[in-house]
Amino acid sequence: MTNPLLDFSGLPPFDQIRAEHVGPAIDELLARAEAAVKAAETVSPVSWDSFVVPLDDATERLYRAWGQVSHLQAVVNTPELREAYNANLPKVTRFGSALGQNLALFAQYKALAASAEAAGYDAARRKVLDNALRDFRLGGAELDEAGKARFSAIREDLSALSAKFSQNVLDATDGFALYVSDVAELAGLPAEVVAAARAAAQKDGKDGYKLTLQMPCYLPVQTYADNRTLRGQLYRANAVRASEFGDAALDNSANIDRILALRAELAALLGFASYADYSVATKMADTPEQVLAFLRDLATRANPHAQRDRAELEAFARDELGLAELEAWDLAYASEKLKQARYSYSEQEVKQYFTGDRVLAGLFDVIQRLYGLQVQADSAPVWHPDVRFYRLVDASGALVGQFYLDLYAREGKRGGAWMDDCRNRRDRADGVQTPLVYLVCNFGRGTDGKPATFSHNEVTTLFHEMGHGLHQLLTRVGELGVAGINGVEWDAVELPSQFMENFCWEWERVQAMTAHVDTGEPLPRALFDRMLAARSYQSGMFTVRQLEFGLFDMLLHSCFDPARENVLELLERVRDEVAVNRPPSWNRFPHQFSHIFAGGYAAGYYSYKWAEVLSADAYAAFEEQPDALSDTGARFLAEVLARGGSRSAAENFRAFRGRDPKIDALLRHSGMAA
């Protein structure tokens, strides 16, 4: 049988890919890629068509196939697939390291950049060359042979450690279950959460109710369960995942220490003072110190609001809920009760109006109004029955791109929400290769024959991920290296995603995407107004929490000295500086901080706050001209989304806004304006 991972003729045959296909496919594609590299080293004369195109052809196929394996490992994890992934990860990593250190290729790129042909290149091709030369230096191409070997070994170890970190978090999450026999213990929980817990217990052949650490169960327990002991049990189980308090085989303590040590060594090999300095070399920020100054300035602005939020919550919890001491597992519960008391607004009440299909229709309508593009249902082989597939077409009906949508939480699926590319846009000799992306969330599914309903936070999460997807789908750049999010500075990639969240707060959009799960009625205006009034509720506390994560990440990668303190002690120092909510001493947040230990956000978590400045300021352009939605949308598409990484994010922003970004809109939207 033909190996489905070697089939690039159309959409990936996800229904056919099995663990046994991974090794043979990767070996074959690595052999092809290595042969293409060998040919490219000596091709003469060097030109775009003789050098860049054949290299792109070979490496793109390898990384597309590997991307499918990585994706499946994240969404339908099985022991067999994990074993195949872990066995082949070192091979793919070694190839990438060798590619980045290949002096012959480096020389060819330099020759091409200096050629007469290159003088006539457009901005996209020039940026590809500039990035390639930079990445060779950052990839260790200028190291001596011993340095190159050590650099490659570090990269390989880091890949394996990151994969192990992520797998430990998944296994620790999936490995917990609490069975409750008496439904009275679940008082306060929404009916659909109780029904889902009942169904989960029955699936396991047990009586009663099964509670898990999957977000559609964990968050409602923390927010609505009247049973304080129950909230505490789940909070602790969640807070100590993948740490020394659980299964020793899943403890991420040693992984964290090893990852940090290897990152510091890698940066030092290249002559950087720290891993943070190495990280910001490809970002909008110039130095780690500049990032720390930005975070601390925002902390100074947010802290008075955060202190007030905490004081109000403590007083309410004491006077109205009888909680003399506000524990970590009381925060979400007390916050929800205070919100209901202050605004007559309940997230659970609002959730009944955001039915799944209606929300999707509303999201697709926003895309049509902003960019004149239509989302249409499409068909494709998928990895799970939950998955939907869509195509995006322009006014003439021409295909722009396609995307998979995997909305619901399940065992064997990584937590959180994300977008990833399956196939990038590329101009080829036989026409345009259209982009293909994955959009993944972890929402609760419908129960008792009712459709799924989403909280407003989940709606904004969906819009957020669609924003990332549109950045990838709407690029008009034909060069692989800078199409979509390729080549975009990491601290700017959150701009299109956070920008999309703003449309979840517009009355016209919200009204169009709501239909009550029982009555079909749209959200009442009075309820929306209460929701809007609560928009900046506890924004001070939320902001300093994000700043805590950002500061911890940047300090960890810029000036952390394991000889003087451990990771948890550093986190406590950061909390001394900015936090108003202190978790218990046994909380092991770093052991689950996959963004920086298993994702792409090491020394880059600050990107979320910096991108909020960019996105709020970009959305302010729409607020300033409310009657010119499609015109402003067309400009945002042309100057930001369509450009991909073909020019700097700062240039994109200035071209759209006519000036550098300002923080004013973020402070206003957060209720923290002076």
Cβ neighbours, 10 Å, residue 609: 23
Q: State how far Cα 203 lies from the chain centre.
A: 31
Asked if pLDDT for residue 571 goes beyond 60, the answer is yes
Q: Give one DSSP letter per residue of 222-240, joined into a string.
A: HHH---HHHHHHHHHHHHT
Per-residue pLDDT tens over the stretch 367-392: 999 999 999 999 999 999 999 999 99
- Average pLDDT of the chain to the nearest whole number: 96
CA-CA distance, 151 to 209, in Å (whole number)? 51
Q: Looking at residue 496, what is its pLDDT?
A: 97
DSSP 50: I
CATH number corresponding to 250-345+538-605: 1.10.1370.10
Q: Which residues contact 553 (CB under 8 A, 6 or more apart)?
A: 593, 595, 596, 601, 602, 603, 604, 605, 606
Q: What is the band of 448 on the pLDDT scale with cuts at 50, 70, 90?
A: confident
CA-CA distance, 160 to 179, in Å (whole number)? 35
Q: Give one DSSP letter per residue of 153-207, joined into a string.
A: HHHHHHHHHHHHHHHHHHHHHHT--EEE--GGGGTTS-HHHHHHHHHHHHHTT-S
Q: With contact defined as beta carbons under 8 Å apart, do 245 and 588 qualify? A: yes
CA-CA distance, 34 to 311, in Å (whole number)? 62
Mean pLDDT of 593-610: 95
Q: Looking at residue 447, what is its pLDDT?
A: 84
Q: Looking at residue 511, what is its pLDDT?
A: 96
- In one-letter notation, the amino acid at residue 468 is H
Task: Give the closest residue to 492 by CA, choosing from 662, 608, 370, 635.
Answer: 608
Q: Map out the domains of the chain as residue ranges.
A: 4-142, 176-240, 250-345+538-605, 356-533
Whether residue 522 is preceded by a cis peptide bond, meaning omega within 30 degrees of 0, is no
Q: With contact defined as beta carbons under 8 Å apart, do 383 and 74 qualify? A: no
Per-residue pLDDT tens over the stretch 496-532: 999 999 999 999 999 999 999 999 999 999 999 999 9
CA-CA distance, 136 to 409, in Å (whole number)? 40
CA-CA distance, 656 to 119, in Å (whole number)? 27
Q: Looking at residue 674, what is its pLDDT?
A: 76
User: Would you call 513 helix, strand, or coil by DSSP?
Assistant: coil
Q: Looking at residue 148, what is its pLDDT?
A: 96
User: Would you call 502 helix, strand, or coil by DSSP?
Assistant: helix
Cβ neighbours, 10 Å, residue 585: 7
Kind and range of the H or E element at 527? helix 525-533
Per-residue pLDDT tens over the stretch 97-117: 999 999 999 999 999 999 999
CA-CA distance, 325 to 662, in Å (whole number)? 40
Q: Supply the residues annotated as catalytic.
A: 465
What kind of fold does domain 4-142 have according to CATH? Glutathione S-transferase Yfyf (Class Pi); Chain A, domain 2 (1.20.1050)
Asked if pLDDT for residue 230 goes beyond 80, the answer is yes
Per-residue pLDDT tens over the stretch 320-337: 999 999 999 999 999 999
Distances (CA, A) of 24 to 13, 31, 288: 16, 11, 43
Burial of 1 (0-12, 13-18, 19+ CB in 10 A): exposed
Per-residue pLDDT tens over the stretch 186-222: 999 999 999 999 999 999 999 999 999 999 999 999 9
What kind of fold does domain 356-533 have according to CATH? Neurolysin; domain 3 (1.10.1370)
User: Would you call 587 helix, strand, or coil by DSSP?
Assistant: coil
Q: Looking at residue 449, what is its pLDDT?
A: 87
Per-residue pLDDT tens over the stretch 131-162: 999 999 999 999 999 999 999 999 999 999 99
Same fold across 250-345+538-605 and 356-533: yes
Helix-, strand-, coil-residue percentages of the chain, each rounded to 5: 60, 5, 30
Mean pLDDT of 626-644: 96
Handedness of CA 261, 266, 269, 271 (dihedral sign): negative
Q: Give one DSSP letter per residue of 278-342, joined into a string.
A: HHHTTSS-S-HHHHHHHHHHHHHHHHHHHHHHHHHHHHHHHHHS--SS--GGGHHHHHHHHHHHH
Per-residue pLDDT tens over the stretch 39-92: 999 999 999 999 999 999 999 999 999 999 999 999 999 999 999 999 999 999
- In one-letter notation, the amino acid at residue 605 is Y
Asked if pLDDT for residue 1 goes beyond 60, the answer is no
Task: Give the closest residue to 25 by CA, choosing from 35, 34, 17, 37.
Answer: 17
